[in-house]
Amino acid sequence: SSLSAWTAQQFDPALNWDDVQWIKDRWGGKLILKGIQDVEDARLAVKSGADALIVSNHGGRQLDGAQSSIEALPAIVSEVGSQIEVHMDGGIRSGQDVLKAYALGARGTYIGRAFLYGLGAMGEAGVAKALQIIHNELDLTMAFCGRTQITQVDRSILLPGTFPTA
């Protein structure tokens, strides 16, 4: 119960989309919003002045059964990808996952769990090793797809029916 009370205290129900611009004005730097899961929120993120957004369901920890980030990604990219940079978080465990997210329109991916495993196993060297493994997997997967540059990657590398559509 103490965890749920603490969690409830972390959320301010008075926050709204106008607050994003207020924060950005005071921050003065780039502002990236994380936790966008649907097209309407993506539109509001653009309207609020955010510089980028991260499609994320926070690892599914916030709402059991929530749509996965990779499932939400195509519709969001289709709607706002020409207006704002779209990144993705959640489920990235390999270079193949990075490539699939990029092919579906993400221009950045965030990797947590693999790095935590590396950190737990070997400290800083383990994090570096995890990054090296994912980078090598990405290079190899791109080669298997006949691509030598990430900018050459699009949906054509994916088998029809194996990815969500907008």
Catalytic residues: 58
Residue 162's alpha-carbon distances to 13, 40, 64, 157, in angstroms, are 38, 25, 23, 11
* Cβ contact 44:62 at 8 Å: no
* Cβ contact 45:23 at 8 Å: no
Residue 71 CA to residue 56 CA, distance in Å, equals: 10
**E strands present in the chain:** 32-36, 52-55, 85-89, 109-110
Residue 53 CA to residue 152 CA, distance in Å, equals: 23
**HSE (side-chain half, CA atoms, 13 Å) at 5:** 2
Residue 109 CA to residue 148 CA, distance in Å, equals: 19
Which residues are 110's β-sheet partners? 89
